[in-house]
A and B are shown apart, each in its own frame.
Chain A
Amino acid sequence: MGRYIARRLALLPLSLLLVALITFVILRLTGNPVEIFLDVNSTPEQIAELTARLHLDEPIPVQFFIFLRDLMTGDFGESLQFNAPAAGIVLERLGATLTLASTGLGLAMTLGIGLGLVCAVQRDRAADFVITSVAVAGQSMPSFWLGILLIQLFALKLGWLPTSGAGGIQHIIMPAFTISAFLLPNIILITRASVLDLSHEQFVVAARSKGLSRGRVLITHILPNAFNPILSFLGIQIGALIGGSIITETIFAWPGVGRLILNSIAHRDVPVVEAAVLIIAVGIALTNLAVDLLQMLIDPRVRRQ
């Protein structure tokens, strides 16, 4: 187990190097940041100064080498917009993003597994039909659309919740629900399918032959076996979840990394984009590792492989 974690962590720099390379190339393919960042009236001296600061006057391979060297020390350079170290700016906002993402994820898991169980127990009855239909419809609803609808109803019409920003519990409700809505339909459907599949297993009848009640077999025997397919799904979706949170943070003006990235791309704040992308890449890799470890913890057969 410890060896497995060590091996996975040892491979982490390799994937990060790839991410760094792709970020580096794309940022240089999409226009000169100096021209975009400085306004039209800037002097040639200013342009030369910024070009030198971003090492854009060096040949591309040298630029990449400098970029990598800076990465090793965690130095992404100064943000063009904020005149502060880029990594610090990203990390400052990471907390807000993690709070939102984990609240959304928790909501999606709780609601998704709960509703999935209801569907499985009530199979082919009204509740199952309604929940499954809404889930399928929800799957095809883009999160920016849902976010706007929520703001219209709960903030503007009813005035129950603030339209945007961060602060108290009331601020996180709508964005967290919007993020969870992205995962929720699939978690419901996966839970329903796994539970129904598992309920035909011999060990379910065997557990009931011990005298356990239907409900207890469902919760203590079937459900734990249904966790791993859900976790696999989350592992695959974690990247898309981050993408979704960029949109959600923007809609609700949530002060997180997602909104910062969008803003920095618009202003070609190269150091901040690089820092944010790499920090997110580390986050995704660690989340996937956590998913694998959780699956091992749940299922001893995975542990052996």
Chain B
Amino acid sequence: MPRNAALQVETAAAVAAPLISVRSLTVDFFTARGRFTALHGISFDVRPGSVLGIVGESGSGKSVTALAMMRLLPDHTARITGGQILFQGTDLAHAAERDLRRLRGRDMAMIFQDPTTSLNPIFSIGHQLREGLALHLGLGRAAADRRAEELLALVRISSPRACLAKFPHELSGGMRQRVMIAIALACNPKLLIADEPTTALDVTTQAQILELLRDLQGELGMAIILITHDLGVVAEFADEVQVMYAGRIVERAPVADIFAVPSHPYTGGLLHSMPSLEEEDPALLPTIAGMVASPFAMPPGCAFHPRCHLAGADCTRAVPPLARVGAGHDSACIRTAHV
């Protein structure tokens, strides 16, 4: 077989076998105000070693997606009411807690928005790193300490040994997020879910953490789901982007296409509201008018239509399905051609 053909077969196999495959995932919340649907049957794949960016405003369902994939939604209020999450032959949506525990922290790991509150304040960094190592790899104290030191060095902490003995409050926000990344990478996971990993950090630190994540992705080759409200973050880092709005995926495309040919008016709005260096007056940054619809009072048809400058009467009739508009490019808009 010529080399090229072999490569093509390999690529095809890779495309055919996603690392994790979310199918029609529906999540409902049961609150004091009543029941509402936070995720309306979303489907997507993540290929091994790729970076998927999930973008959307607060309330779009991106964090719910992340927690649902880890099966860490709050028990009392949220429930997966439909769909599947296929990961290495297991349906996580229906897996037993025992099996989930074996996967969490070993094959799939997560980092969170606020590194200040994601570390337990009363335990040392070393203690919190050793926990996962002892649990999944059965490492004893000394071996776990050695590995913990390696991990801290991996996330570019300058004096890893000294850091092991420190407590969370003794570290800066950026350092804490590095520690969180080290904890997440402790067992070489195949999938890392990063839920707004840089939102709580200052701009300089944001850039450093993103660069670190990108470098680590290159070194270790895990797949990353990067959740953010910042398209700039996605542009630097993701292979593929999906835009979420009101619990649905409204557009999905390779990262370059999202910026070159946005095919959903919401994506267009997000792109317009990004500050750019050429802008003469940054105070005049355009915004998307209106607010995200309340989950208790979803507008009929396309949930975005009340805020959409292209909306017409036909937009209220039915929820537009995600339809193919280009190579690997889907949009859920019936006026996609006008965007």
Q: Contact residues of A with B, CB < 8 Å?
A: 123, 201-203, 205-214, 221, 224-225, 298-301, 304
Q: Does B183 contact A (CB under 8 A)?
A: yes
Of the candidates B101, B122, B183, the one whose C-beta lies within 8 Å of that of A213 is B101
Asked if A206 meets B135 with Cβ closer than 8 Å, knowing A211-B106, A301-B121, the reply is no
Are the CB atoms of A203 and B132 closer together than 8 Å?
A: no
Q: Which 8 A-B pairs have the closest CB atoms?
A: A211-B105, A210-B105, A202-B117, A211-B104, A300-B167, A210-B132, A206-B118, A209-B110
Are the CB atoms of B119 and A206 closer together than 8 Å?
A: yes
Overall SS of chain A's interface: helix
Are the CB atoms of B131 and A210 closer together than 8 Å?
A: yes
Besides the known contacts A123-B76, A206-B119, A210-B109, 5 further A-B residue pairs in the complex with CB atoms under 8 A apart = A203-B121, A205-B118, A206-B118, A209-B184, A299-B121
Cα-based distance from A211 to B102 in the complex (angstroms): 6
Are the CB atoms of A211 and B135 closer together than 8 Å?
A: yes
Question: Within the complex, what minimum Cβ distance (angstroms) separates B88 from chain A?
Answer: 15
Are the CB atoms of B120 and A225 closer together than 8 Å?
A: yes
Chain B hits for A206, CB < 8 A: 110, 112, 118-119, 180, 183
Closest to A302 in B: B122
Asked if A210 meets B135 with Cβ closer than 8 Å, knowing A225-B122, A299-B121, the reply is yes
Are the CB atoms of B169 and A301 closer together than 8 Å?
A: yes
Are the CB atoms of A210 and B183 closer together than 8 Å?
A: yes
Chain A hits for B70, CB < 8 A: 209
Closest to A227 in B: B122
Cα-based distance from A181 to B196 in the complex (angstroms): 48
- Give the residues from 182 to 204 in chain B that come closer than 8 angstroms, CB to CB, to chain A: 183-184, 186
- Give the residues from 50 to 72 in chain B that come closer than 8 angstroms, CB to CB, to chain A: 67, 70, 72
With an 8 Å Cβ cutoff, the count of chain B residues facing the other chain is: 32
Asked if A208 meets B104 with Cβ closer than 8 Å, knowing A202-B112, A300-B167, A300-B169, the reply is yes
Question: Within the complex, what minimum Cβ distance (angstroms) separates A305 from chain B?
Answer: 11
Are the CB atoms of B119 and A212 closer together than 8 Å?
A: no
Chain A hits for B119, CB < 8 A: 203, 206
Closest to B136 in A: A211
Closest to A198 in B: B120
15 pairs from A and B in contact (CB 8 Å cutoff) = A203-B119, A203-B120, A205-B72, A206-B118, A206-B183, A207-B131, A209-B70, A209-B72, A209-B184, A210-B105, A210-B131, A210-B135, A211-B102, A225-B120, A299-B121
Chain A hits for B97, CB < 8 A: 213-214
Q: Does B114 contact A (CB under 8 A)?
A: yes
Cα-based distance from A202 to B200 in the complex (angstroms): 14
Chain A hits for B110, CB < 8 A: 206, 209
Question: Within the complex, what minimum Cβ distance (angstroms) separates B29 from chain A?
Answer: 15
Cα-based distance from A203 to B105 in the complex (angstroms): 14
Closest to A201 in B: B117
Question: Within the complex, what minimum Cβ distance (angstroms) separates B78 from chain A?
Answer: 12
Closest to B109 in A: A209
Chain B hits for A209, CB < 8 A: 70, 72, 104-105, 109-110, 184
Chain A hits for B67, CB < 8 A: 205
Cα-based distance from A299 to B122 in the complex (angstroms): 5
Closest to B135 in A: A211
Closest to B76 in A: A123
Chain B hits for A203, CB < 8 A: 117-121
Closest to A225 in B: B122
Question: Within the complex, what minimum Cβ distance (angstroms) separates B137 from chain A?
Answer: 11
- Give the residues from 105 to 149 in chain B that come closer than 8 angstroms, CB to CB, to chain A: 105-106, 109-110, 112, 114, 117-122, 131-132, 135-136
- Give the residues from 150 to 205 in chain B that come closer than 8 angstroms, CB to CB, to chain A: 167, 169-170, 180, 183-184, 186
Question: Within the complex, what minimum Cβ distance (angstroms) separates A115 from chain B?
Answer: 21
Most A Cβ at <10 Å: residue of B72, B122, B180, B186: B122
Question: Within the complex, what minimum Cβ distance (angstroms) separates A176 from chain B?
Answer: 31
Chain B hits for A210, CB < 8 A: 104-105, 109, 131-132, 135, 183, 186
Closest to B119 in A: A203
Are the CB atoms of A300 and B122 closer together than 8 Å?
A: yes
Are the CB atoms of A211 and B132 closer together than 8 Å?
A: yes
Closest to A221 in B: B120
Chain A hits for B101, CB < 8 A: 211-213
Question: Within the complex, what minimum Cβ distance (angstroms) separates B162 from chain A?
Answer: 15
Cα-based distance from A299 to B123 in the complex (angstroms): 8
Of the candidates B109, B112, B114, B131, the one whose C-beta lies within 8 Å of that of A212 is B131
Question: Within the complex, what minimum Cβ distance (angstroms) separates B175 from chain A?
Answer: 16
Cα-based distance from A210 to B109 in the complex (angstroms): 7
Chain A hits for B76, CB < 8 A: 123
Closest to B187 in A: A211
Chain A hits for B117, CB < 8 A: 201-203
Chain B hits for A201, CB < 8 A: 117
Chain A hits for B102, CB < 8 A: 211
Chain A hits for B170, CB < 8 A: 300
Chain B hits for A213, CB < 8 A: 97, 101
Chain B hits for A212, CB < 8 A: 101, 105, 131, 135
